[in-house]
Chains A and B, each alone.
Chain A
Amino acid sequence: GNSVTQMEGPVTLSEEAFLTINCTYTATGYPSLFWYVQYPGEGLQLLLKATKADDKGSNKGFEATYRKETTSFHLEKGSVQVSDSAVYFCALQTDSWGKFQFGAGTQVVVTP
């Protein structure tokens, strides 16, 4: 079956540090891949997405590249801010009706 594996958190960083959150997946077919962010007490917000191999999704300084050969979609940001503190979820979608498979989430804590 389909699955998403993320690195465990929490990940604690100082402001302006480089952030990487690893995400690998197992899926049949050709999934679309997503990163969602959840701020404390809130629902999920789409951060970025990629729908086919070698696509790069980017938003708010975050980037992730769809790597089919390594079945990965690692999230990166060059210089994090305190406001980036949140839980980040990697997700895939193979079902045309919209079902998502989420990773376990990675909590990121950025300190001043």
Chain B
Amino acid sequence: EIVLTQSPGTLSLSPGERATLSCRASQSGSSTYLAWYQHRPGQAPRLLIYGASNRATGISDRFSGSVSGTDFTLIISRLEPEDFAVYYCQQYGSLPWTFGQGTKVEIK
């Protein structure tokens, strides 16, 4: 099973700042088969990024994803109030599909 480790656990930032979220895979099998989700309280998780760097339909270009080896990064260029949420990465390159434990982006 591929274990995804997200860091940091919590990111305290102000609106307008840049957020950098990390997701490290325990094995290389996930390649670019990684997605990022935004999860706001009381709402369904929302797909942001698939294939490590492709924005989902309707997602702002403030969100971008990248990969280097087994290290995946989600960047939110300028935080808007609605961006404060929990973010999860998910690998789908190898069964069982797995999620990271999440990074909470909170208002500083």
Real complex partners, A and B? no
Contact surface of B with A, Cβ cutoff 8 Å: none
Contact surface of A with B, Cβ cutoff 8 Å: none
